[in-house]
Amino acid sequence: MLICVDPTAYASAARMFGDYLASDVRRVADGLVSDLSGLRGFAGHDPVGAEWAIAYDGVAGPTAQAIDDLGRASANVGALLQQSGFNHARAEAYSDVTGGSVLPAEPLAYTAGEARCISLASATGGAIGDPPVGWEWVRDACGLIWPDGDPGRLRETASAWERAAGRLDDGWLLVSQGITALDEVDSPEIQNARGVCRTLKTLDELANRLSNSTWPMPPVLRGFAIESKLGGNLPPGFPKIDRWIKDKGIAISIKTINLASKTYQNPTRLESLVKRYVDKVASFKGDQRGVFVIRESQITQRVLHIGVPRNATSEQSEVLGLVADYAEKRGVELIVEVVR
């Protein structure tokens, strides 16, 4: 077998994997564990929250462990590439019949460090206090469970994974530059480096899914998650609106529409739904839940804030534009925001 190599390309790639990437990935793992520390029991005891927690726990822990393992794998690949480059450079020096080549210095090996066991807190359980007085009557009559999930912790968890995904993406850009230098090299060691690249890309995509996981959620929990992300601050079940900016008198209804759903691929159905949302906000005259009161005299502005996923079709975008005009005539400001 003919092996064609460039020792300088090996040295550059070794530094990329063994030093830069290994350090970056370790920092991602450390940052993720730190960010998620103490974030436990936030999904809620209700059936939807409990189901989501099981799915999250099954993916989050192994993903964090794989990120940490990748840091050591990167260091090992760096050491392998470094040693291979040294061996090839030495072979070239020995094969120089003129005797003019200088033997390369023995390289300092990159070290992978000790293996670690990464453990993340479970999302299973509730993090909000006891249900309000009288909830037991609703529970007994309707068979409902108090939704005690914590939107704040859910939002913090999503942000932690989003940061990790961004850092892994930076690492992918870095390592792709290093591996490009070896594209023309025909050598067995390169397959190990390419394996690390594939793993890094997979973990990057997985971390993105964990940070952007609201759309695959069931509708109830998805709405709960996005409502918290968009600033919902009213008690659960408050009629018609979800956010109240008291000092400015702004009443905001937060809704989510999964534009990828087959139902809303139909422009007529989408228009009808959004207009119904607009009409509900327009008709809001204030209300009360327990000690929380909003009076009509306090309201200066009504807003419908809709969270949607990316990649809306041109027909859907056109419908939302038309409904914005309808909302303005009804005294409602329509805001459509892409929510990851």
CA pair distance 330, 301, nearest whole angstrom: 11
User: CA 316, 320, 323, 325 torsion: positive or negative?
Assistant: negative
pLDDT band at 188 (very low <50, low <70, confident <90, very high): low
CA pair distance 42, 56, nearest whole angstrom: 11
Supply the pTM of this predicted model.
0.53
CA pair distance 242, 176, nearest whole angstrom: 45
Mean per-residue pLDDT of the chain: 75
Q: Is the pLDDT of residue 209 over 80?
A: no
Report whether 56 contacts 123 (CB < 8 A): yes
Helix, strand, or coil (residue 286)? strand
CA pair distance 148, 138, nearest whole angstrom: 15
Neighbours of 4 (CB within 10 A): 9
Tokens of 297: 């005299």
Mean pLDDT of 288-294: 83
pLDDT of 17:
76
CA distances from residue 249 to 16, 234, 238, 298 in whole angstroms, order as listed? 54, 14, 16, 6
Q: Is the pLDDT of residue 129 over 70?
A: no
CA pair distance 23, 102, nearest whole angstrom: 32
**Cβ-based neighbours of 31, under 8 Å, separated by 6 or more:** 163, 164, 167
Question: Comparing 248 with 163, which gets the higher pLDDT?
Answer: 248
Q: Is the pLDDT of residue 248 over 90?
A: yes
161-170, 216-225, 253-262, 284-293: the lowest-pLDDT one: 216-225
Ranges of beta strands (E only) in the chain are: 243-245, 250-256, 286-289, 292-295, 301-308, 332-338
- Alpha carbon 284 to its chain centroid, in Å, reads 34
Helix, strand, or coil (residue 85)? helix
28-42, 125-139, 153-167: the lowest-pLDDT one: 125-139
pLDDT of 152:
74
Residue type, 178: G
Burial of 129 (0-12, 13-18, 19+ CB in 10 A): exposed
Report whether 306 contacts 334 (CB < 8 A): yes
Tokens of 205: 């995509």
Q: Is the pLDDT of residue 200 over 80?
A: no
Mean pLDDT of 251-269: 88
pLDDT band at 1 (very low <50, low <70, confident <90, very high): very low
Q: Which of 326, 274, 329 is nearest to 305 (CA)?
A: 274
Q: Is the pLDDT of residue 315 over 70?
A: yes
Q: Is the pLDDT of residue 7 over 70?
A: no
Query: Residue 295: beta bridge partners?
Result: 286
